[in-house]
């Protein structure tokens, strides 16, 4: 895992390569409010399940785009053992794909449906690379080659060099404020626009409406806080996996702007698929991967 090349950094948070013998099983992926490009190098398939029941299976080929969602998504750990990907910043995927982010409603969409032939052959090109570094460089080159801007004219997508202006400055300011806990109404007022205009532009760039995005970001702040509190007690009670341990949930609720502890528990369950006291991520460094126990 590392930062991308400088040209991609305004849009891509990090690129990563994994080749690990992860144990078999299913996981719930906790929403982050962002999009990812993922390529399964182990097999030409990516599977996902309904985040709650974990019964209905969906699948696409081995190269996919994970949309921004506000619910847990079940995944097969086997598809994560040998893979490569790019994690976009909130709204950062917009220059690389057409249609806009809010049209990518599925948790995972086949890359070939977005990039055509280039998407269909990306996995083959990545598999040809001799080292992880070469694989990541090839992935970055593919992203740089696919920068798209949606022009106002009927022709639609126009390719052009990567430019910071492709990001909507209103959305960038809103992401900054909402990620730090500012209320949506306050953000709209500060930006001096109407709620309808703000919602439309934010949703088109990020893939979520502002309020669900803010809820997801608040959950992420909670996960960061309880993980930073220390895993020692949680490890003892979770069979070695990291978890929340002895947490004062009422205090956490108050600190992060929930109405009360019941409000926190309700949103936690809705966004992760588990309750706060049964939350056990794969590791302290992977708070958004929650193994499913049956």
- Selected from 3.40.50, 3.30.70, 1.10.10, 1.10.3470, the CATH number assigned to the domain covering 229-291 reads 1.10.10
Report the chain's C-alpha Rg in angstroms.
Answer: 19
**pLDDT category, 160, cuts 50, 70, 90?**
very low
pLDDT tens-place string over residues 80-113: 999 999 999 998 998 898 777 777 767 899 999 9
Task: Work out the pLDDT band at 139, boundaries 50, 70, 90.
Answer: very high
Task: Please write the tens of the pLDDT for every residue from 262-279.
Answer: 999 999 999 999 999 999
3-state secondary structure of 277: helix
Torsions phi, psi for 249 (to 5 deg): -70, -30
In this predicted structure, what is the pLDDT of residue 174?
Answer: 96
CA atoms within 13 Å, Cβ hemisphere of 139: 32
Q: Can you give the pLDDT at residue 188?
A: 97
101 CB-contact burial (10 Å; exposed 0-12 / middle 13-18 / buried 19+): buried
Query: Which of the residue ranges 66-80, 157-171, 186-200, 247-261 would you say has the lowest mean pLDDT?
Result: 157-171
Kindly report the three-state secondary structure assignment for every residue of 90-116: CCCCHHHCCCCHHHCCCCEEECHHHHC
Taking a C-beta distance cutoff of 8 angstroms, is the pair 226, 244 a contact? Answer: yes
pLDDT at 248: 93
Q: How far apart are CA 95 and CA 157, in angstroms?
A: 10
Q: Tens digits of per-residue pLDDT, 27-47?
A: 999 999 999 999 999 999 999
Tell me which DSSP letter residue 78 carries: G
Contacts of 164 (CB under 8 A, 6+ apart): 10
Average pLDDT, the chain: 87
Percentage of the chain with pLDDT > 90?
A: 71
Helix (H) or strand (E) holding 287: none
What local confidence, expressed as pLDDT, does residue 230 receive? 61
Per-residue confidence (pLDDT) for residue 85, from 0 to 100: 98
Q: How much is the pLDDT for 244?
A: 65
Residue 148 pLDDT grade (very low, low, confident, very high; cuts 50, 70, 90)? low
How far is residue 294's CA from residue 267's CA, in Å, rounded to a whole number?
A: 23
């Amino acid at each position: 895992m590392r930062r991308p090349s400088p040209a991609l950094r305004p849009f891509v948070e990090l690129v990563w390569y994994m080749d690990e013998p992860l144990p078999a099983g299913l996981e719930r992926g906790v929403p982050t409010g962002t999009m990812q490009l993922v390529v399964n190098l182990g097999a030409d398939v990516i599977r996902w399940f309904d985040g709650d029941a974990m019964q209905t299976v969906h699948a696409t080929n081995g190269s996919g785009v994970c949309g921004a969602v506000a619910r847990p998504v079940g995944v097969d750990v086997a598809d994560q053992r040998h893979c490569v990907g790019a994690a976009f910043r909130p709204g950062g995927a917009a220059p690389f794909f057409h249609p806009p982010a809010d049209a990518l409603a599925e948790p995972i969409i086949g890359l070939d449906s977005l990039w055509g032939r280039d998407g269909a052959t990306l996995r083959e090109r990545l598999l040809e690379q001799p080292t992880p570094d070469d694989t990541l460089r090839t992935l970055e080159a593919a992203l740089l080659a696919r920068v798209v801007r949606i022009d106002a004219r009927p022709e639609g997508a126009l390719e052009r060099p990567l430019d910071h202006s492709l990001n909507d400055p209103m959305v960038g300011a809103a992401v900054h404020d909402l990620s730090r806990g500012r209320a949506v109404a306050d953000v709209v007022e500060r930006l001096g626009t109407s709620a309808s205009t703000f919602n439309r532009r934010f949703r088109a760039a990020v893939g979520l409406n502002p309020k669900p995005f803010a809820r997801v970001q608040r959950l992420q702040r909670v996960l960061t806080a309880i993980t930073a509190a220390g895993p020692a007690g949680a490890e003892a009670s979770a069979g070695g996996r990291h978890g929340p341990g002895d947490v004062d949930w009422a205090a956490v609720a108050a600190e992060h702007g929930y109405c009360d502890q019941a409000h926190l528990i309700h949103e936690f369950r809705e966004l992760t698929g588990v309750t706060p006291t049964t939350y056990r991520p794969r590791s302290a460094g992977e708070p958004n991967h929650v193994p499913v126990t049956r």
